[in-house]
Structure 1
Amino acid sequence: MIEIITSPANKKVKLAASLKQKKHRDETNLFIAEGIRLIEEAVKSNWQIEFCICTDEVLHNSRVTTIFQILEQKKCDVYQVSKAIYDKISDTKEPQGILLVLQKQQTQLATLEVADNPLFIVLDELQDPGNVGTIIRTADAVGCQGVIIMKESVDLFAAKTVRATMGSLFHVPIITEVSADTLLTFTDQHKIVLQVTALDHEAKEYFDSDFRDATAIVFGNEGNGVSHSLLDAAKQKIFIPMLGQSESLNVATAAAVILYESFRQRRSS
Structure 2
Amino acid sequence: MIDNPRSPRVRSVAKLAKRQARAETGLFLVEGPQAVAEALAYRADLIVDVYITPKARDRYAELVQTATGLGLDVETVSEAVLETMADTVTPQGVLATSRQFTISLADLLSSKPHLVAILEEVRDPGNAGTIIRAADAAGADGVIFTGNSVDAYNPKVVRSTTGSIFHVPVAQNGTLDEALAAVRAAGLQVLAADVKGADLPRVRDLLAAPTAWVFGNEAHGLPDEHLRLADRVVKVPIYGNAESLNLATAASVCLYESAFAQRS
Task: Provide the TM-score with structure 1 as the length reference.
Answer: 0.91
1:82-138 CA-to-partner distances (Å, cap 9, x unmatched) read 111221111212211110000011111112254456111111111111111111111
Any residues of structure 2 matched to 1:86-125 within 5 Å, and which? 86-116=82-112, 118-125=114-121
Letter in 2 for 1:99: L
1:130 and 2:109 correspond: no
Q: Residues 50 and 116 (structure 1 numbering): CA distance in 2 closer, same or farther, change over 3 Å?
A: closer
Any residues of structure 2 matched to 1:190-201 within 5 Å, and which? 190-200=186-196
1:172 and 2:161 correspond: no
CA-CA distance at 1:156 after TM superposition: 1.3
Q: Residues 140 and 122 (structure 1 numbering): CA distance in 2 closer, same or farther, change over 3 Å?
A: same
Contact 1:196 1:238 survives alignment (8 Å)? yes
The residue number in structure 2 matching 1:206 is 200
The residue number in structure 2 matching 1:13 is 10
Contact 2:31 2:95 survives alignment (8 Å)? yes
Sequence identity, in percent? 35
Which residue of 57, 60, 63 corresponds with 1:59?
57
Which residue of 34, 40, 45 corresponds with 2:42?
45
The alignment covers a number of residue pairs equal to 261
The residue number in structure 2 matching 1:264 is 260
The residue number in structure 2 matching 1:184 is 180
Look up the SS of the partner of 1:196 in the other structure.
Answer: strand
Q: What do you get for the CA RMSD once the two structures are aligned?
A: 1.7
Contact 2:145 2:173 survives alignment (8 Å)? yes
Look up the SS of the partner of 1:59 in the other structure.
Answer: helix
Contact 1:57 1:97 survives alignment (8 Å)? yes
CA-CA distance at 1:180 after TM superposition: 1.9
How far apart are the structure 2 equivalents of 1:197 and 1:59? 44
How far apart are the structure 2 equivalents of 1:117 and 1:105? 19
Letter in 1 for 2:199: E
Letter in 1 for 2:75: Y
Moved more, 68-77 or 214-223: 68-77
1:254 and 2:256 correspond: no
How far apart are the structure 2 equivalents of 1:73 and 1:234? 49
1:158 and 2:154 correspond: yes
Contact 1:150 1:176 survives alignment (8 Å)? yes
Which residue of 10, 23, 36 corresponds with 2:20?
23
Contact 1:125 1:153 survives alignment (8 Å)? yes
Contact 1:116 1:214 survives alignment (8 Å)? no
CA-CA distance at 1:69 after TM superposition: 2.1
CA-CA distance at 1:183 after TM superposition: 0.5
The residue number in structure 2 matching 1:81 is 77
Gaps of 5+ in 1: none
Gaps of 5+ in 2: none
